[in-house]
Amino acid sequence: MYPRPLQDPLPVWVAVGGNPQSAVRAGSLGLPMALAIIGGMPERFAPFAEIHREAARDAGVPAPALGINSHGYIADTRREALDESFPYVAAMMNKIGRERGWQPLTRGSYEASATLRGANFIGNPEDVVEKILFQHEIFKHDRFLLQLSVGTIAHDEVLRAIELFGTEVAPAVRRAIGTA
């Protein structure tokens, strides 16, 4: 494989989006699980974290890491985040949705997904920090991955979202959970 991986062995994570058997497989192999939450309430995914940990215990392997992966967008204000991202996210999700038989994404459902108990991390830095910490209480996860580029949001806006994540969100979360 080229380029050669820096790590030896290469770290492998199993991505799971709603299949309990995948969570069992990852846990029983002692592999970290990346749990994708792109719709619905986060609480409904809590059983996957427990299934993963229980499968590891049953297999006699150390508890593997857990990551939460979600869609989101960060701007200076919640309104800016919603306004800047919605048209692009809706276009992308509606394209995928037509292939899968989903209902079209409406502005109302998009805003609902941006609330504390929704799936998406859309808002100002404080909103996103609050939501990460809320989900950390549910999952006790080790890693959080935020996919900012759902759709074709302008490059400078995505760069600003990355800046806000790196300079405000991540440091605040690390301080709050004691990993700073």
Answer yes or no: are the C-beta atoms of 128 and 121 closer than 8 Å. Answer: yes
Show the domains of the chain with their CATH numbers: 14-177 (3.20.20.30)
From CA 139, how far away is CA 65, in angstroms rounded? 11
Residue 180 has pLDDT above 80, yes or no: no
Q: Using CA atoms in the order 45, 50, 53, 59, what is the torsion angle rounded to 10 degrees?
A: -120
pLDDT in tens, 6-22: 888 888 999 998 899 99
pLDDT in tens, 124-145: 999 999 999 999 999 999 999 9
pLDDT in tens, 58-89: 999 999 999 999 999 999 999 999 999 999 99
Residue 75, number of CB atoms within 10 A of its CB: 21
